[in-house]
Structure 1
Amino acid sequence: MSVFGAQSAVAADTACPEVGSCKWKMATGWAGGPLMDIGAKAFAERLEQLSGGRMQVQVFPGGALGGALKVSETVKNGIADMGHLWMGYDWGKDTTTVLFGGYAGSFDSERMLHWLYEGGGVELQREFREKEFDVISFPLFIRTAEVFLHSRKPVRTLEDLQGLKLRTAGAWIEMSAAMGAAPVTTPGGEIYAALERGVIDATEWGTLWENISPGFSKVAKYLIIPGVHQPTAPFELVLNKRMWGKLTPADQALIETTAKLVTYESWLKIGQEDAKSLEFYREQGNEVIDLEPEVQYEARRVGKEWAGKQAEKSEWFARVLKSQEEFEKLWADADRYRNVKVDGKN
């Protein structure tokens, strides 16, 4: 159902008939920055706007309503009505979450969007989260490829990765360790201090633009691209099942459609701002380093190998991975018929 269809249906049958009668709490994993501003808060603003003020969401920073890395648990337990997170934070409970959140073996963000909304990904995500985590789930926010590292040390080759103390999250913890790094995980709000004090040598977090606000460029001289560990990163809206069950189908559709709208808007915003951001780092005195092809190929290989092993152990992982692999086959010739050569460089 479209946004407009959902709005028109509200008049006939709604669980929130008065302005401001639905007031919900949203837990997040973010202290601030674009994930908060054009993700969680943007969703709250759009939902209030499109519902005519009937639906209001109070957004809380990471840690305010529960652990910043345990948002889905906070929502499931009813401490928050909804939450905004990266699903891969729950990889320790079920590695299938990584397939929905993106990993070294993923396709790019455009293909991920197509798989989610046209290739059956949204339906799989909803079913998986409800059955295995007892929450309702929809995509909310998506990144383009991340920065590989903001680092206190130059990193170009596989040799440079050996023993590197890097902050990361999700399955890249295992994958980067397999490539020789020494990974740790920490919430986003704690990264700057750890990097400044030298507790870690390097960090990954978001895209070029997203990483301006945390200030990593001030405490890490080297900017390493591209983010082979995270070619795409869809984020997630989770909702408490009891709260969800009280809503009319029209209001449920409005929430789902608002999440989809904000996901597309975040993709467009980040893409545009990333294009402007590389010069910012140069002006800050950062050295921009391109990863050697050997690192990029090895990360992809390790990612695919890891996924194959997970599929052998998990029916859910195997099911989602198969869907993504079938999508990749369908799009195998996309670059051939979509990309026009204009200057001899593409």
Structure 2
Amino acid sequence: MMKRRQFITRTAIGVGTVTALGACGQTTPSAGTTGSDLPIVHWQMATSWPTSLDTPFGAAQMVAAQVSAMTNGRFTIAPAAAGEIVPGLQVLDAVQAGTVQCGHSASYYYIGKNSALAFGTCLPFGFNAQQQNAWLYHGGGMEAMNKLYSDFNVIAFPAGNTGVQMGGWFKREVNTVSDLNGLKMRIPGLGGEVLARLGVNVQVLPGGEIFLALDRGAIDAAEWVGPYDDEKLGLNNAAEFYYYPGWWEPGSSFDFMVNLTAWQQLPKEYQAVLQAAAAYANVDCLSKYDSRNPEALQRLLAKGTKLRPYSREILTAAQRESTALLEEKAADNPSFREVYDSWKTFREAISRWHRVSELGYGSFAIAAPPPP
């Protein structure tokens, strides 16, 4: 186990690993091979997304498109929607078992395996997208996550981010903490655990099942991502109150997961291609969300959606319970503690800087509308 973890850490620091199974009888060429001497490789990718959600599923497709383009079609990956190969919440299992060579998912779907996997996606009241990327790429985050993933014979790279999410759709208004008591809400990850501590009956459903559950009253509320994706799912047709901000997902990363055995069988050129493709998709996905969400929100409002901010009472209670939950996780799980301590140190430093830079600018230029 230790040797495997040491390998993962070194690989992440070096070429910045992305794993994939050695499919199609591939044999690894010698280090000196280039161009047409590289093998022809075809992989399958399981994802957690329906094809209708063209931004997260599009990030998976972008990885595949970049890999094909950079290898002149010699290395191809076929993304499959949730349910086509495995259910949307079993992507990590499929990659670990070798059912597929790679997958595209969110690490926090798998906190039942190890609570520390939440860090790969986001933490309640944690990093925004810019901070998350800084931590992953240059704050030791990617190395920490791949140390965790090594227990599952997987290595992963960030390959998408949603930015700050919305706070969910509700059939009725929630103004106080007592309004949350007994509410049935679809919300995964540690955010769900925080709301459970506030009295919410938490449900975990893949994206493709949310609308029917909300529309038929199986749940009272649901969160997904933001205006563009939520409109795609039709959530505005099942609930009228739309809350913000999504304090539990201030900058959620998607992961491109690859089987470690497959990664080791790839020539170094293909390893570098996978890393570059994931990084491209990471930037592209966030940019799409930031360009598509503003118009989608205006369409939702025009259709009768009622936009509501969470009350300070709810936000304060949620932040208090979030801090308590993280400390409890760290006390119970040594691997959570290891990541959490370094994560907190990075958060303190980047928060000091962003209070001066990002908040200093945004509190004036963004908070106040421009003069007529």
* TM-score normalised by structure 1 residue count: 0.91
What secondary structure sits across from 1:251 in the alignment? helix
Give the Å deviation of 1:35. Answer: 4.3
Cα offset, 1:81, TM superposition: 0.6
**How far has the Cα of 1:181 moved from its partner?**
1.0
In structure 1, the residue matched to 2:117 is: 97
What is the one-letter code of the residue matched to 2:239?
Answer: A
- Could you tell me how far 1:18 is from its partner in structure 2? 6.2
Q: Per the alignment, do residues 290 and 105 of structure 1 end up closer, same or farther by CA in structure 2, a change over 3 Å counting? A: closer
In the alignment, is residue 318 of structure 1 matched against residue 364 of structure 2?
no
In 2, the alpha carbon distance for the partners of 1:224 and 1:157 equals: 13
Are the equivalent residues in 1 in contact too, given 2:55–2:288 (CA < 8 A)?
A: no
Deviation of 1:41 (Å) = 1.0
- Specify whether residues 293 and 15 from structure 1 end up closer, same or farther in structure 2 by C-alpha distance, changes over 3 A only: farther
Query: 1:309 deviation in Å?
Result: 0.7
Compared CA separation, residues 345 and 186, structure 1 to 2 (3 A)? closer
Distance 2:366 2:253 in 1: 32
Aligned partners of 2:43 and 2:101 also within 8 Å = yes
Preserved contact between residue 14 and residue 247 of structure 1 (Cα < 8 Å): no
- Structure 2 counterpart of 1:96, which letter? A
Deviates more, 1:22-31 or 1:266-275: 266-275
Q: CA RMSD in A?
A: 2.2
How far apart are 1:335 and its partner, in Å?
2.1
Is 1:228 paired with 2:247?
A: yes
Which stretches in structure 1 are left out of the alignment for 5+ residues? 4-9
Residue in structure 1 matched with residue 19 of structure 2 by the alignment: none
AA in 2 matched with 1:73: D
Query: Match of 2:97?
Result: 77
Query: Aligned ranges for residues 39-118 of structure 1 at < 5 Å?
Result: 39-118=59-138
Equivalent runs, 1:295-310 vs 2, <5 Å: 295-310=314-329
Correspondence list, 1:12-23, <5 A: 12-13=32-33, 17=37, 21-23=40-42
Paired with 1:228 and 1:89, the residues of 2 have a C-alpha distance of 17
Q: 1:195: which partner in 2?
A: 214
Aligned AA for 1:235? F
Give the direction of change, closer, same or farther, for the CA distance of 1:26–1:16 in structure 2 (3 Å limit).
Answer: farther
In structure 2, do the counterparts of structure 1 residues 101 and 337 end up closer, same or farther at CA, with 3 Å as the change threshold? closer
| 2:291 corresponds to | 272
Contact 2:162 2:252 in 1 (8 A): yes
TM-score (norm 2): 0.85
Counting only pairs closer than 5 Å after superposition, residues 30-41 of structure 1 correspond to structure 2 as 30-32=49-51, 33-41=53-61
| Per-residue CA distance 1:29-87 (angstroms, 9 max, x = gap) | 11120344431111111211122211111111112222321111101111111001110
Deviates most, 186-195 or 335-344 = 335-344
Q: CA deviation at 1:156?
A: 3.0
Change in CA separation of 1:97 and 1:252 when aligned onto 2, cut-off 3 Å = same
Residues in 2 aligned to 1:188 and 1:287: alpha-carbon distance in whole angstroms: 22
Within 2, Cα distance between the matches of 1:192 and 1:343?
A: 37
Answer yes or no: is the 8 Å Cα contact 1:15–1:248 preserved in 2.
no
Q: Which runs of 4+ in 1 moved over 6 A?
A: none
Contact 1:27/1:83, CA 8 A, preserved across alignment: yes
Query: What is the alpha-carbon distance in structure 2 between the residues aligned to residue 249 and residue 18 of structure 1?
Result: 10
Alignment of 1:100-179 (within 5 A): 100-130=120-150, 132-179=151-198
- Quick one: percent identity of the two aligned structures? 25
In the alignment, the residues of structure 2 paired with residue 17 and residue 303 of structure 1 have an alpha-carbon distance, to the nearest angstrom, of 53
Q: Which residue of the other structure, out of 171, 183, 188, is the alignment partner of 2:202? A: 183
Q: 1:202 to 1:15 in 2, by over 3 A?
A: farther
Residues 136 and 240, structure 1, Cα contact 8 Å, conserved in 2:
yes
SS of the residue corresponding to residue 291 of structure 2 reads: helix
Q: Name the aligned partner's letter for residue 271 of structure 1.
A: D
Q: Is the 8 A contact 1:109 1:144 kept in 2?
A: yes
Pick aligned residue for 2:44 from 25, 30, 42: 25
Contact 1:16 1:55 in 2 (8 A): no
Amino acid in the other structure paired with 2:226: T
User: How has the CA–CA distance of structure 1 residues 12 and 156 changed in structure 2, closer, same or farther, with 3 Å as cutoff?
Assistant: farther
Distance 1:343 1:205, change over 3 A: closer
Query: Is the alpha carbon distance of 1:337 and 1:141 closer, same or farther for their aligned partners in structure 2, counting shifts above 3 Å?
Result: closer
The aligned amino acid for 2:209 is E
Displacement after TM superposition at 1:337 (Å): 3.5
Instruction: Tell me if the contact between 2:47 and 2:81 (Cα under 8 Å) persists in the aligned partners.
Output: yes
What's the offset of the Cα at 1:2? 9.0
Give the deviation of 1:318 after TM superposition.
Answer: 0.9
* 8 A Cα contact 1:224 1:288, kept in partner: yes
Cα deviation for residue 11 of structure 1 reads 10
CA contact (8 A) 1:155 1:289 kept: no
1:156–1:290 contact (8 Å) kept in structure 2: no
How many residues align? The count is 338
Q: Secondary structure at the match of 1:163?
A: coil
